[in-house]
A and B are shown apart, each in its own frame.
Chain A
Amino acid sequence: MTVNSDWTYAPAPERVDPEIAERHRLFIDGRFLSSRGRRTFETANPATEAVLSECDEANAADVDAAVAAARAAFRKWSRTRPQERAKHLYRIARRIQERSRELAVLETMDGGKPIRESRDVDLPLVAQHFFHNAGWCDKLKYAFPGATDPKPIGVCAQVIPWNFPLLMLAWKIAPALACGNTVVLKPAETTPLTALRFAEICEECELPKGVVNIVTGAGETGRLLVEHPDVDKIAFTGSTEVGKRIAASSAGTGKRLTLELGGKSPNIVFADASIDQAIEGIVQGIWFNQGHVCCAGSRLFVQESVLSEVITKLERRLSTLRVGDPLDKNTDVGAINSGAQLATIRDYLERGRAEGATMHEPSDASLPDKGHWCRPCFLSDVQPSHVVAREEIFGPVLAVMSFRTPEEAISRANDTRFGLAAGVWTDKGSKIFEIASRLQAGVVWLNTYNRFDATSPFGGVKESGFGREGGLHGLRGYLSL
């Protein structure tokens, strides 16, 4: 008898075929229409570089049509009995659950994230956001004390990024519709497919035409949408740079604005933390979704006495992360979303090394020949002034720094223009809440990291933007009290 001593995993690919059409069109006024500009762009699978489909690039006339459709639909949708609005949203939530495997596979193919995450994190949250907000439709008058007749705002322009395509869509569309608004949403140009599949679900659920409109395209389409004069509200998730441009362009227009922007979130590990748990939290914090997470715990602060222990354990843990085929159910780290993003990440790694940081890349597993890949890695000996400690990299790259006292940890954690999220690890209860209250961040995870829920408000302070998404507070940006 021979014993197999090779402990590598056999491939375990997800085999559901999402049946991707060769061509995708815009979804305007309840119909799939070709762009009036007749321009298209390709969306590819970042793990194989194979083109998945051709999509229409919406131009000014398309955006006009979509906004006009949303405007026309608003008159009726905003006056639809709240209980009836709710039924549409509940039905959408159910259809998402029913089609979740197909959507998860499509998300993974178009974006590169591991199927384990799109299946177990993204899709359950997407459904929960619609289900949760469906129930708000007829309860808005109880949501904000003293405001017994809150009103929808109108036509919402929503622009979302490529890191959680369908989840960001849910964060945007579910509360907007629950409050009686109509929307025109632009997904990111590298990940348009699940948004268009969602449009099919809207049809299946007989959502009135024009309530949801999807226009695909790149930055120019997004600019046309948010600068459209008949838009009442802008909701944007993306980079701080673009967020500032949007805020500037809407100055003086009276448009309502919520922005969920970049981050460089600190994750603070005290010597009295449960170190093994903290290691798992660090991994969850920065290598979840290839680090393509606005709230990623990308700056790790470790108390000096446990620094070497944490680095050793991190190296060991990182060497076990499996990088590769995102459709493989055993994959931990998938493909980088695009070649351009990979180039950005590599550039930051180069600058980190040039500035004197030490590179740790414990895994030497082979990577697929095609596709965009970055092995999970971290940089130690990072100084606060280093570029890798200050700028958002948006990749599986962690900057490790040390501190001595809680005061030092707080001041260094807050020494950033961002303020999206933060993590703290210690078993001392009073200390953890003291630190939590002094960290400048919209979300603070204590002895955990990267937890999300439809009932839990998410959003940033400082240059990470303003407004909250999720829960009761997520409705606020879609209502006039």
Chain B
Amino acid sequence: MAREPILKTWKLFIGGAFPRTESGRTMILWGADDRVVAHCCQGSRKDLRNTVELARKALPRWWARDAYNRSQILYRIAEMAEGRTAELVDAIRCVPEAGTDRAPTAATARKEVACGIDRLVAFAGWCDKFPQVIGSRNPVNGPYHDFTMPEPTGVCGVIAPNEPSFLGLVSHLAPVLAGGNVAIALASETNPLPSMVLAEICATSDVPGGVVNVLTGYRRELLPEFADHRDIDAIGGATEGNEERRLLELGAADNMKRVRLEHAAEIDYHDDDARHSPWTIEPFTEMKTIWHPSGS
């Protein structure tokens, strides 16, 4: 007798827990053959506001950790993801690629997962190195020690592109975390499953609750709240068209959010040289210059 599979509704990842959306709404993910692949939460503006509160609480503890420790936690995410490669590949392949009725090939999906995991390793390594690379000791006139070093901007919205659903999110999330920030990610709208698998990986990777948060839902509903929320300090990620960019930058102006957005269609996520640069971390840091007199 055929066994019916147990299909769960994927929940949000907020503050280290997996709650359902407060709105009680779900969205259906349709597969290539027009069958229901999964149900996901249709996150609401209120969910985002709740998330910001928990992320804000997590921020000082995350930044207070030694860089070596943050480095190991990012590496732990990569280790855990490696063990769940097959699940990530399946999640990537569960919906058709944009503009087609076919799922990505297994080889394409495996390449995407491998690249994403390697990216996590790359940024794990940056945690305790980028401050030396982008900071400075300033040769000022007069008897002063003067140095400049990066600090995290704070609570960062991370807008994943619709595709590639896994690699896109990882590529925008990793620099934010390596910089000592906490992240509120908005998963791919067309295929949120790989993001939710990543959330489960984070939940079992010693990532403190609230440091990584993942919401699923509609961009047109949630992006305005990302833009306007006054306790989000920065927004990074990929936009699907200039209207999204304009909307996010317009809202950001009100509380001087730092915004670093790229157009999803213009990004080559497989370009390791470009994506592993420390200058992808820099937009989510604040340079602090400290002066102290020296001498008597």
A residues neighboring B (CB under 8 Å): 128, 144-147, 240, 243-245, 247-248, 250-252, 259, 261, 417, 432, 436-437, 441-448, 451, 453, 455-459, 461-466, 468, 471-473, 476, 481
Q: Does A244 contact B254, Cβ atoms closer than 8 Å?
A: yes
> A250 to chain B: closest CB distance in Å?
7
Please give the distance in Å from A359's CB to the nearest CB on chain B: 32
Nearest A residue to B150 via CB reads: A473
Query: Which of A128, A447, A464, A472 lies in contact with B292, CB distance below 8 A?
Result: A447
Q: Is the CB of B291 within 8 A of A463?
A: no
Interface residues of B in 115-139 (CB under 8 A from A): 133, 136, 138-139
Known pairs A453-B142, A456-B140; list 10 more (Cβ under 8 Å): A147-B279, A240-B256, A244-B253, A247-B252, A251-B246, A436-B290, A444-B288, A448-B293, A455-B138, A476-B282
Q: Is the CB of B291 within 8 A of A451?
A: yes
Knowing A247-B249, A252-B245, A448-B291, say if A461 contacts B286 (CB, 8 Å): yes
Asked if B287 is at the interface (CB within 8 A of a chain A CB), the reply is: yes
Q: How far, in whole Å, are A445 and B142 apart by their CA atoms in the complex?
A: 14
Q: List 22 A-B contacts (CB under 8 A).
A: A243-B256, A244-B256, A245-B253, A248-B253, A252-B245, A437-B151, A443-B290, A443-B291, A444-B288, A444-B291, A446-B292, A447-B292, A448-B144, A451-B142, A453-B146, A456-B146, A456-B148, A456-B289, A459-B287, A461-B288, A462-B256, A476-B282
Shortest C-beta distance, B182 to chain A (Å), equals: 15
Would you give the 0/1 interface string for B257-273, flagging 1 where the beta carbon is closer than 8 Å to chain A?
Answer: 01000000000000000
- A463 to B, closest residue via Cβ: B256
B249→A250 contact, CB < 8 A: yes
In the complex the two chains form, is A458's CB within 8 Å of B256's CB?
no
Which residues, 226 to 260 on B, are CB-close (under 8 Å) to A? 233, 242-243, 245-250, 252-256, 258
Q: A248 contacts which of B141, B144, B250 (Cβ < 8 Å)?
A: B250
CA distance A465 to B153 in the complex (A): 12
Q: In the complex, what distance in Å separates the CA atom of A204 from the CA atom of B245?
A: 44
- Chain B residues with CB under 8 Å of A453's CB are 138, 140-142, 146
Report the minimal beta-carbon distance from A258 to chain B, rounded to whole angstroms: 11
Q: Which chain A residues lie closer than 8 Å to B246 at the CB level?
A: 251-252
Residues of B in contact (CB 8 Å), total 39
Complex interface: chain A residues within 8 A of B144 (CB): 448, 451
Is there an interface contact between A144 and B279, defined as CB atoms closer than 8 Å?
A: yes
* Complex interface: chain A residues within 8 A of B153 (CB): 461
Task: Assess whether B277 is interfacial by the CB under 8 Å rule.
Answer: yes
In the bound complex, CA of A453 to CA of B145 (Å): 12
Find chain A residues with CB under 8 A from B242 CB: 252
B140 partner residues in chain A, CB cutoff 8 A: 451, 453, 455-456
A446 touches B290 (CB 8 A): yes
A456 touches which of B233, B245, B291 (Cβ 8 Å)? B291
Whole-angstrom distance between the Cβ of B197 and the nearest chain A Cβ: 32
Q: Chain B contacts of A473 at CB under 8 A?
A: 136, 148, 287
A244 CB contacts on chain B under 8 angstroms: 253-254, 256
Q: How far is the CA of A76 from the CA of B242 in the complex (A)?
A: 31
Q: Give every chain A residue within 8 A of B288 (Cβ-Cβ).
A: 436-437, 441-444, 461
B278 at the interface (CB under 8 A from A): yes
In the bound complex, residues from chain A placing their C-beta under 8 Å from that of B286 are: 442, 461, 466
Residues of B within 8 A of A448 (CB): 144, 291-293
Of A145, A259, A457, which contacts B138 at CB under 8 A? A457
CB distance from A285 to the nearest CB of B (A): 13
Contact A472 B136 (CB under 8 A): yes
A443 lies within 8 A of B256 (CB) = no
